[in-house]
Amino acid sequence: MLFFKRVRDILLTPQQYFQRIKKEKLREVLIFYLIFTVLTAVPASLYYLQQFLLPARWLPAAVVVDLLLSFGGIFLFGALVHLCLRILGGKGNYYDTLKGYIYGSTPNMLWSIPYLLITLAYPSKLLNILLTIVAIYSLYLQVTGLSVLHKISKWKAFFGSVMPFLIIFVFALGIALIVGVIMAILAGGI
């Protein structure tokens, strides 16, 4: 019951919720994240198996990989968000960043369960439009949480949330350019 109350409070009264959880232990956040991760692991794994045309017998391995990537990813991406927030003057610690980021992702995590199940059976452009709306609301909740927990403006929290994506994009683009140049040199094109 506490889980559903938490979801309701995050979605409907985010400012008050994030004020209330400032002293909350990381354990509570990780349990919350674990529940969603476990609930989405099988549908997500089925979706990826379908997308990559892999046999269903790989499902157990895909679920394990999904769980490992989900937890590893949240800690690594959380560290990148935290670094960006600190650069922008954020006063919270790493746990505050994880709290704001994980709880702010509630709409995405909540929507991913039906989205994945429906997409497996009936892919639709309407679902992608709804997914975009949910992602925007998740970003708003993350910004609200990070702003409250790091004691910074919502604009700084927004840039702290978006900067990691830009950093990853620029890094990936740089790697792609380097690989492209090396391939061109090896092919005798330069």
Q: Per-residue pLDDT tens for 122-162?
A: 777 777 888 889 999 999 999 999 999 999 999 999 999 99
Instruction: List, as own/partner pairs, every contact residues 63-68 make where C-beta atoms lie below 8 angstroms and the sequence separation is at least 24, other chains included.
Output: 66/37, 66/40, 66/41, 67/37, 67/38, 67/41
The pLDDT value given to residue 1: 59
**What does the pLDDT look like over 31-88, one tens digit per residue?**
999 998 988 888 888 888 888 888 888 888 988 998 999 989 999 999 999 999 999 9
The predicted pLDDT at position 187 comes to 86
Backbone angles phi, psi at 22, to 5 degrees: -55, -35
Predicted structure pTM score: 0.84
